[in-house]
Amino acid sequence: MLKATNLRAEYGSLVAVNDVDLEIETGEFATIVGPSGCGKTTLLRMLAGHQEPTSGTVELGGEDVTYTEPQNRPTSLVFQSWALFPHMTVRENIEFPMRNKGVEVGDRVEELLEQVRLDPDIHADKQATELSGGQKQRVALARSLAYDPDILLLDEPLASLDYVLRKRLQRELADLNEELGMTFIYVTHSLESALLMSDKLFVLQDGDIIQTGSPEEIYRRPSTKFIAEFMGDANVFSLDDAVERGDGYEVKSSQFAQTTTVPYHYDADPEYLVVRYDDSSIGSELTEDLGLEVTVTNVLVRGNTVLVECDAPESDGEYVAEIPIDEFRDTDVEKGDAAYLQWDASKSILVPE
């Protein structure tokens, strides 16, 4: 188990990581997600031992490793730039950590290459600089696995790869995590990676962890407007008034055609109502229990669904509904038409500022 307590990093007067607490169970695939400059790389570097925290502690399996040097830590970092040793072959790169640990090499290089789905016969004796981006990424991963760490740290190693390759490698990473039972900590600014692979998400903003939970929890129940917007694919409405009613709040907005009550879980008063694109629909009549009048500005086909983009005349807001293509045909709504953007009120998410 990895446990960070009150971990803090300052650069001069700038606080990059602000007293962060973190607990990750053995075998978990944890993702630290946040926009660039939120302190996530600094946090990861402190876990790896490449940077000393200003204060706070890092414990691995109950042992304080806060000031242990990276070469003596059971962690291994897969760098964003992969950092393969340019003067070595693939094999030499992978043997490097084994020789450092004094482990028998044997057939491990071949095994590891197969594990990251590279053909050892073709690639093992290539120079590291001869590989393509995706291959370098795989070799970097194999090299870190060769170190046999308790915790594998990944600093956005997929960021510079193209979409298709990224998708495939994400799935492979998730499989590998399951197969090896090793703890993975992945840092990214891209939500799609975070959602697809992780057991547990930490959302980082300006050096603070602002929400922790499973991807599902965070996707369905963001705790702030920032997270809701960061998670993307959601319409955000600002509320005029919200009155507590039993389990939830009765929300009012001059935009909405109706008033309704929505469940709510946080301490601060709700300020915004969030609804996901795919929970929204469009129609010429108001049939759901919450909705507003809009003008359809654009219709984009995205595979089996269409994205209906619309303007709300009241608020200059731009909103989107994502609905199955057949369902959209049935509505008879076309670009330029006035219509209702609407949804099941229980799908609404209320968030504080």
Interface positions with another protein (CB under 8 A): 48-50, 52, 66-67, 69-72, 75-77, 79, 81, 83-87, 96-97, 99-101, 143-144, 146-147
CB 84 within 8 A of CB 94: no
Tell me whether residue 69 or residue 334 sits nearer to another protein (CB atom). Answer: 69
User: For residue 59, what are the β-bridge partners?
Assistant: 3, 64
Torsional sign, CA 41, 44, 49, 52: positive
Q: Measured from the CB atom, is 97 or 207 closer to another protein?
A: 97
Q: Which C-beta is closer to another protein: that of 71 or that of 304? A: 71
Q: Report, in Å, the least distance between residue 49 CB and another protein.
A: 8
Q: How far is the CB of 54 from another protein (least distance, A)?
A: 10
Furthest-apart CA atoms within the chain: distance in Å:
72
Which CB, 124 or 191, lies closer to another protein?
124
CA atoms within 13 A on the CB side of 84: 29
Q: How many CA atoms lie within 13 A of 4 on its CB side?
A: 26
Output the smallest distance, CB 126 to another protein, in A. Answer: 17
Minimum distance, C-beta of residue 336 to another protein, in the bound complex (Å): 40
Burial class of 296 by CB neighbour count within 10 A (0 to 12, 13 to 18, 19+): buried
Q: Which residues pair with 95 in a beta bridge?
A: none
Q: If residue 327 lies in a helix (H) or strand (E), which one and from where to where?
A: helix 325-331
Give CA–CA dist 196/171, Å, rounded: 8
Residue 109 in tokens: 């290089």
83 vs 286 by CB, closer to another protein: 83
* Kind plus residue range of the DSSP H or E element containing 22: strand 14-24
**Residue 43 gets which letter from DSSP?**
H
Residue 52 beta carbon to another protein: minimum distance, rounded to whole angstroms: 6
Residue 289 CB, nearest approach to another protein (Å): 54
Report the alpha-carbon distance of residue 294 to residue 257 in Å, rounded. Answer: 11
Whole-angstrom distance, CA of residue 265 vs CA of residue 251: 14
CB of 161 to another protein, least distance (A): 17
- Which CB, 152 or 204, lies closer to another protein? 152
Element at 165 (helix H, strand E): helix 163-180
Least distance in Å: CB of 327 to another protein?
49
Name which of 24 and 140 has its Cβ closer to another protein: 140
Question: What DSSP designation does 129 have?
Answer: G
Residue 12 vs 303, nearer CB to another protein: 12
Dist. CA 209–CA 22, nearest whole Å: 9
Alpha-carbon distance of 56 to 65, in angstroms, equals: 11
CB of 55 to another protein, least distance (A): 10
User: 139 or 242, CB closer to another protein?
Assistant: 139
